[in-house]
């Protein structure tokens, strides 16, 4: 089980979508989390491989990822 707190605007948007689609907020949140994880899993694997191969003199990390 997972409990989360949402900003008021995000919760209002979630309430609206749940009402508009007839789906529960939990169902919508599960779908959104699932999609996010699927979309970001490959990038996370790539970053992990780069980090494991990097030496400090070859690569640096910034907000966009690992670069030479």
Q: Please report, in tens digits, the pLDDT of each residue of the chain (68 residues total).
A: 889 999 999 999 999 999 999 999 999 999 999 999 988 988 888 888 888 877 655 666 666 665 55
pLDDT single digits (tens) 4-20: 999 999 999 999 999 99
Look at residue 3 and tell me if it is in a domain. Answer: no
Q: Domain total for the chain?
A: 1
SS3 33: helix
Look at residue 1 and tell me if it is in a domain. Answer: no
Look at residue 2 and tell me if it is in a domain. Answer: no
SS3 67: strand
Look at residue 56 and tell me if it is in a domain. Answer: yes
Look at residue 31 and tell me if it is in a domain. Answer: yes
**Enclosing domain of residue 49:** 8-67
**What phi, psi does 54 have (nearest 5°)?**
-80, 145
């Amino acid at each position: 089980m997972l409990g989360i707190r949402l900003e008021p605007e995000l919760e209002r948007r979630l309430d609206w979508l749940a009402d508009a689609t007839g789906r529960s907020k939990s169902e919508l949140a599960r779908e959104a989390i699932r999609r996010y994880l699927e979309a970001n899993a490959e990038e996370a694997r790539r970053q992990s491989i780069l980090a494991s191969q990097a030496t400090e003199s070859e690569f640096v990390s910034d907000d966009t990822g690992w670069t030479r």
